[in-house]
């Protein structure tokens, strides 16, 4: 049971890290496509798809 809880927490932390990395990458470039990708991933995470 504890292992399942740790696994879920790790997945959540990895998702947060991925979003932060994508936001940093989008901030480094002035590409509208990057910004659009970050917005789509954030929306998908809010819906629970990703």
pLDDT digits (tens, 9 = 90+) for 9-37: 888 888 888 878 877 877 777 677 777 77
Say what the alpha-carbon torsion angle 42, 49, 4, 8 is, to the nearest 10 degrees. 0
In this prediction the pTM is 0.55
Q: How confident is the model at residue 5 (pLDDT cuts 50, 70, 90)?
A: confident
Which position has the higher pLDDT, 45 or 50? Answer: 45
Res 50 pLDDT > 60: no
User: What is the Cα–Cα distance from 15 to 41, expressed in whole angstroms?
Assistant: 10
């Amino acid at each position: 049971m504890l292992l399942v809880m740790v696994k879920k927490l790790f997945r959540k932390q990895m998702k947060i890290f991925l979003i932060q990395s994508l936001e940093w990458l989008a901030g480094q470039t002035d590409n509208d496509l990057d910004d659009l990708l970050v917005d789509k991933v954030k929306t998908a995470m809010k819906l629970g798809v990703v």
